Amino acid sequence: IMEIMGRHAGWLAGAAALATAYGAGPDLVYLPEVDFDMDKFLADVDRIYKEKGNCMVAVSEGIHYADGTFVSEAKTSATDGFGHAQLGGLAAHLASVVKEKTGAKVRGIELSLLQRCGAHLASETDIEESVMSGKAAVENAVAGITDKMVGFQCTRDNGKYVCKTELLNLTDVANTEKKVPLEWINKEHNGVEQPFIDYVLPLIQGEPNLPKVDSLPRFAKLKKVLAK
């Protein structure tokens, strides 16, 4: 059971289905856009485990019950930088429940911040769009434009992915999420449909030729220089 970042939006956990589409990913994927049912989850896991002898599950950290409570919420007063309750321990909790109910050998894994630490695994699309957004941010800041965020306007017409930047008002994007469309989540609420795969697949395209030193990524050492 793999716990993946995503409090209210399940894009990261859903992206695990890319591996499934190509034969090596999770059997079940649970996103926070829909309510979580523990009994149905256990039935799903038990069914697949009996069919295959193993079962791999990807869950967003923010999956919640029908009453809105998170399946796993840290029993502390800790909050993140936005005042939200700190989540944690979901994978371990679900692993414990599955082991108790099915008797199967279960391992829970929380990927956590490791998901942000693999810059050397970034796709060429990732890198190109990062540079593009940074360039747009600097150019607009120098031009005196403020209170904006750089966003992406992307099209996928006729299977061709095209992306360009746009400026968005901070008041339109602050503390909000772009959620996975409900029609892209299967009716069983334990996986995603093909439109989701078609949407995210272009984002991982391209194999960049990144410099390495002794087989390790070449890390940048930047000096802070104040802009004048």
Task: Give the integer Cα–Cα distance in Å for 77 and 75.
Answer: 7
Residue 89 lies in a domain: yes
- Based on the domain organization, do 89 and 168 belong to the same domain? no
Residue 220 lies in a domain: no
Residue 228 lies in a domain: no
Task: Tell me if 223 sits within 8 A of 60, measured CB to CB.
Answer: no
- Based on the domain organization, do 46 and 153 belong to the same domain? no
Residue 198 lies in a domain: no
pTM of the entire predicted model: 0.86
- Based on the domain organization, do 100 and 17 belong to the same domain? yes
- The SS3 assignment for 211 reads coil
Give pLDDT tens digits along the chain (228 positions). 999 999 899 999 999 999 999 999 999 999 999 999 999 999 999 999 999 999 999 999 999 999 999 998 644 444 555 555 555 689 999 999 999 999 999 999 998 888 788 777 889 999 999 999 999 999 999 999 999 999 999 999 988 999 999 999 999 998 888 999 999 999 999 999 999 999 999 999 999 888 888 988 888 888 999 877
Expressed as residue numbers, the domain containing 45 is: 1-117+179-190
Task: Give the integer Cα–Cα distance in Å for 73 and 64.
Answer: 10
Q: 23, 28, 22, 21: which is closest to 2 by C-alpha?
A: 28
Task: Tell me if 115 sits within 8 A of 5, measured CB to CB.
Answer: yes
- Based on the domain organization, do 65 and 92 belong to the same domain? yes
Task: Give the integer Cα–Cα distance in Å for 219 and 143.
Answer: 31
Q: Is 140 exposed, middle or buried (0-12, 13-18, 19+ CB in 10 A)?
A: middle
